[in-house]
Amino acid sequence: DQRQELRVACVAALAALKVAGLEAKLTAVSEDADVKVRIAARNILAERFPAGSLDVLLKGLAAGELAEQQAAVASLVTLADKRADDALVAQLDALLAGKTPAGLHLDLLEAAAAKSDERFRQWLEQFNAQRPAGDPLAPFRECLDGGDAQRGEEIVWGRSEASCRRCHKVGERGGEVGPNLTLVGKEKTREYLLESIIVPSAKIAKGFESATLILDSGKVETGIVKSETDDEVLLVKPDGEVVPVAKASIEERAPAQSAMPELAPHLSKRELRDIVEYLSSLKTPPEPAHGK
């Protein structure tokens, strides 16, 4: 809320003023009741007073909410301190043992990849070796939990690489070429949502099967089969154009790959995680744009 954002801004302003006793003041603020205020104070401590920030960061990592655990990992990576590295290695070993929150996995994996210490390289080799072979989601399972739904919404509706808004609808917003996503978080699991992004042709929603039609004219039409009668197939092309095709003109018909593009090559794992978090949050219809 606005009050929370104002308090976070005040913490940043406090640091910018370079007041006397800043480290002690920030350490005190890092115990605040508001998680975002705690995170802001710890982030500044790690940046301005790295030598003295370790205990504060470890406290956030051990007992904090997921968001501050994620922030603590990000700050620990920046510290040139063996104790910080030891703390990260302990967290990574706990991950292998199944003892860390799923929402922290991506943060820890990225932390390990960012460190030059041989221990981290060996740990990553061990972790990647135990990923299931033949599972297309194996390299992305750390994206299932821990995302930011607000950032995910911004990617879905604002990023051309995602291009979700052209085909999918949430409430009154978006297109109608693909499945309606208004209640997708209620109807589908996180794994289903991730798979639909990584391998869109693996499970195609009923009513949105694609087909490739080779016509007697030599023309090829590909799209989603919107409807079909004894005489005609109605295709919806990726750009939304509706094309009626007379069945008498069809020489060959074959299932096509999903019209949904593969998004993984265009998005970072953090962005994928945020999108999954946003989609999984869609459990009730949004308020109409007019407010009624």
**Structural domain contains residue 37:** yes
Q: What is the pLDDT along the chain (292 residues), one digit of tens a residue?
A: 778 889 889 888 877 877 788 899 999 989 999 999 999 999 999 999 998 899 999 999 997 799 999 999 999 999 999 999 999 999 999 999 999 999 999 999 999 999 999 999 999 999 999 999 989 999 999 999 999 999 999 998 887 766 677 777 888 887 766 778 889 999 999 999 999 888 876 665 665 677 888 999 989 888 888 888 999 998 888 777 889 999 999 998 887 666 566 677 889 999 999 999 999 999 988 776 654 4
**Structural domain contains residue 150:** yes
Based on the fold, state whether residues 10 and 124 are members of the same structural domain: yes
**Which CATH number fits the domain that encloses residue 154?**
1.10.760.10
- Give the structural domain span for 27: 2-130
**Which CATH number fits the domain that encloses residue 249?**
2.30.30.100
Domain count for the chain: 3
Based on the fold, state whether residues 270 and 177 are members of the same structural domain: yes
Based on the fold, state whether residues 273 and 148 are members of the same structural domain: yes
Based on the fold, state whether residues 125 and 151 are members of the same structural domain: no
Q: What is the DSSP track for 72-124?
A: HHHHHHH---HHHHHHHHHHHHHHHTT-S-GGGHHHHHHHHHH--SHHHHHHH
Based on the fold, state whether residues 152 and 219 are members of the same structural domain: no
Q: Please choose, from the candidates 66, 65, 71, 35, the residue with its C-alpha nearest in 3D space to the C-alpha of residue 53.
A: 71
**Structural domain contains residue 218:** yes
Based on the fold, state whether residues 123 and 81 are members of the same structural domain: yes
Based on the fold, state whether residues 64 and 156 are members of the same structural domain: no
At residue 292, the pLDDT reads 46
Based on the fold, state whether residues 175 and 155 are members of the same structural domain: yes
**Structural domain contains residue 160:** yes
**Structural domain contains residue 292:** no
Based on the fold, state whether residues 223 and 182 are members of the same structural domain: no
**Structural domain contains residue 85:** yes
Based on the fold, state whether residues 31 and 105 are members of the same structural domain: yes
At residue 241, the pLDDT reads 84
237 by Cβ neighbours in 10 Å (0-12 / 13-18 / 19+) ranks as middle
**Structural domain contains residue 138:** no
Based on the fold, state whether residues 86 and 179 are members of the same structural domain: no
Based on the fold, state whether residues 223 and 119 are members of the same structural domain: no
